[in-house]
A and B are shown apart, each in its own frame.
Chain A
Amino acid sequence: MLSRIKSGITGLKAKLTRTHNAIMGSVEAALTGSSREEILGALEEALITSDVGVKTASEIVDGLRAVMAGRDEEKLKGCLKSAIYNILKQVERPLEIGVNQKPFVLMALGVNGVGKTTTIGKLAARYSSSGKSVMLAAGDTFRSAAIEQLELWGGRVGCPVIKQAHGGDPGAVVFDAIRAARARGTDVLILDTAGRLHTKSNLMAELKKIKRVIDREMPGAPHENLLVLDASTGQNALNQARMFNEAIGVTGIALTKLDGTAKGGIIIAIANELKIPIRFIGVGETADDLKDFNAGEFVDALI
């Protein structure tokens, strides 16, 4: 068990090497500063260049200023680590599939191109390999071939996909899907939705409508409104989270494409400013690369 956790950590560390190197490189460079303020300034820069954002970065640095005495490297690392850990710990709440909710309805949301469909595919693989019956609903009726993309995932994982024609009403698709999932006694129903920019009021209204349809058919559902965010996004991710949250209420976040990019600091800004639970992080192409978010592991991999 212990070794498994250990290998989990080193695995994550390997995936986040670039973020780690970017931050640690700057931390070490920062330590060469001649005065305390110079070091703190360089640290703030390191955080901002990791997309942590000006506000959160200066809050972290102000916190360090209060506790930091001297320029001991290990101590500084420790302080930075615990500062970030404290922020991330608040949003570490892995998604639990309630047994009383049958089907457990998860709706994936997000702007275009963040990886909604791929994340859904990975989630389907995860739940179905843990022995749950999974059904997918092709609610993205707008983008060309989005339905076929989901069907290919369904074929790969071996779970049914409920769909209608391209250009159809997504509300009707989810209506059908809930009925079908109930009839077949499915454990987890995952709904795909079309990517939409959070600023398009008509598309956000459509999302509200889909939610109403679900709620009418199954009061209390969807049980999870999962917002999918791209880790290479800058400060706009905050706007996305805020506006999707205002429109239909976001209950969890999945942060994709964390591997390879030197960044992903936006996760810290979101945790600090919005306090929405972070459920998953995507660190690679395979289904196993979608991991439960764990603040400790994440910070260990980072610093």
Chain B
Amino acid sequence: MFESLTDKLRKVIKDIRGQGRLSESNVQDALKEVRLALLEADVNFKVVKGFIESVREKAVGRDVLESLTPGDQFIKVVHDELTAVLGGAGAGLELKGKPAVVMLVGLQGSGKTTTTAKLALKLKGQGRTPYIVPADLFRLAAVLQLKRLAAEIGVDCFDSDGYKNAADICSEAARYAGLKGYDTLLVDTAGRLHIDGELMNELKNLKRLLDPSEILFVADSMTGQDAVNTAKGFDDAIGITGVILTKFDGDARGGAALSMRQTTGKPIKFIGTGEKVDCLEVFHPSRMAGRILDMGDVLTLIEKAQAAVDVKQTKEIEKKIRKDTFTLDDFKDQLKSIKKLGTMDSILSMVPGFDAMKKSKDVQIDEKEIDRIEAIINSMTKKERQDPSCLNASRRQRIAKGSGTKVQEINKFMNQYDQMRKMMKKLRQAGPRGIKAMLQGMGR
């Protein structure tokens, strides 16, 4: 995410950092680099112009020139400005009416159908009772695709088969949802070009019919310069209330986010971060700006960890560490929590500086490593898990066979486990104060 843009800006900022003080001329150079980076990131030409101007105005000022660390000041100016362009504070969904209606609109292939299911799952998780309405009669098998996804996530779905137009589907679905007491209607519409008058009229008609509280424009984060025109086209025609950016797990620099926000003034509400139905995250402008500047996205990581790790379980583990009864079974539970956070790659990309490190050192993350360790533990007997010291050569060979690994891998893992135990022991002996001292020592 935003990887390349991050790289570019870091380079610019490094150049400034090398200087003792910030002069007008090196703001000029830095801005040139920022401009180029933003253009290469597909931010619209006009948006870039405006952005650069406001950064220039704010950067070439007393604060920066008199500051002792001009580089840091410059980063802050760019960061604040980026946050402002991306939309200030984050905006949630506004669900009014009974049922509240959410319409998803956008170009072909932007990811409306998948996003409809993702959104339904998210709302279901928040305790709402969503009802999915497939109203894309145009693309082959679109209705079937949504029905399948709905079944997969356990959300009810209107049966659109046999209907000839989207308006009939919507009015019937709305009537039915009212009867059955669903509180949110999620309407997937057919993909269309913003210049297709006939299809845009259909959308206007659906809007009149449904009186939606949210009309979300679903856009591909890889979209180029035209993002401004399509977003504006939809906004002018039917009045969108927000944007969902999809396919954000690729390496697109995502300049479209800046462009669309700037031209429509509508907030970006969610981002799609994977093919699976639970891969939909709330969009945080300030975090995203931080990410662009390679300050990492630690907040998202913490939130994810909180959702995945059971507090009670954590307390239990703490107790076990204190009493030195942390077994391989507990270790396995820990691995499970980590896996809930997502792939290793996606977790690590939220850590500051990781993207740059990955590029420079060509780090390959082995996503299977956790699976292998799990398999190794699963192939142990209860006794072995409680007390790994009994693992002799023949036991290790049996485990290797059972888990489809090699004896060497088991040796390696057991060594790591031993080291971990030693570390825990040290922590325990050091006590709370000692732990703090140790951590500070590591930071140095």
Which residue numbers of A lie inside 8 Å of B, CB to CB? 18, 45, 48-51, 53-54, 111-115, 117, 121, 142-146, 148-149, 152-153, 197-202, 230, 232-237, 239, 257, 259-263, 266
Is B40 in contact with A53, judged by CB distance below 8 angstroms? yes
In the A-B complex, the 3 residue pairs with the smallest Cβ-Cβ separation, listed nearest first, are A234-B224, A113-B109, A234-B42
Q: Once bound together, how far apart are the Cα atoms of A255 and B103, in whole Å? A: 29
B409: chain A residues at CB < 8 Å are: none
Q: Which residue of A lies closest to B194 (CB)?
A: A260
Stretch at the interface among B203-211, B225-233, B333-341, B381-389: B225-233
Q: Is the CB of A260 within 8 A of B193?
A: yes
- Kindly identify which residue among B246, B275, B367 contacts A142, using a CB–CB cutoff of 8 Å: B275
* Tally of A-B Cβ pairs under 8 angstroms: 126
Interface size classification for chain B: 35 or more
Residues of chain B lying within 8 A (CB to CB) of residue A50: 225
Q: Are A51 and B225 in contact (CB under 8 A)?
A: yes
Nearest CB on A from B291, distance (A): 16
Residue in chain A with minimal CB distance to B36: A54
CB of B136 to closest CB in A, whole Å:
11
Residues on the A chain within 8 Å of B367, using CB: 202
Q: Which of B65-73, B180-188, B251-259 contacts A (4 or more CB under 8 A)?
A: B251-259
Query: In the complex, how many angstroms separate the beta carbon of B77 from the nearest chain A beta carbon?
Result: 23
Cβ-defined contact, B196 with A260, below 8 A: yes
* Pairwise interchain contact A113-B223, C-beta atoms closer than 8 A: no
Determine if B220 is an interface residue (Cβ-Cβ < 8 Å): yes
Residues of B within 8 A of A200 (CB): 249
- Contact A263:B225 (CB < 8 A) given known A113-B109, A115-B109: yes
Output the least CB separation between A168 and chain B (Å).
15
Which listed segment binds A: B54-62, B90-98, B141-149, B305-313?
A: B141-149
Chain B residues in 8 Å Cβ range of A263: 224-226
> Does B329 make an interface contact (CB < 8 A)?
no
17 other A-B residue contacts (CB within 8 Å) besides A45-B45, A54-B36, A234-B42 = A48-B225, A51-B42, A51-B225, A112-B247, A145-B142, A199-B250, A201-B364, A230-B220, A233-B222, A234-B223, A234-B252, A234-B256, A235-B40, A236-B251, A259-B193, A261-B193, A263-B226
A44 to chain B, nearest CB (A): 10
In the bound complex, CA of A177 to CA of B396 (Å): 44
Partner of B195, one of A45, A121, A153, A260: A260
CB distance from B108 to the nearest CB of A (A): 7
A142: B residues at CB distance < 8 A: 275
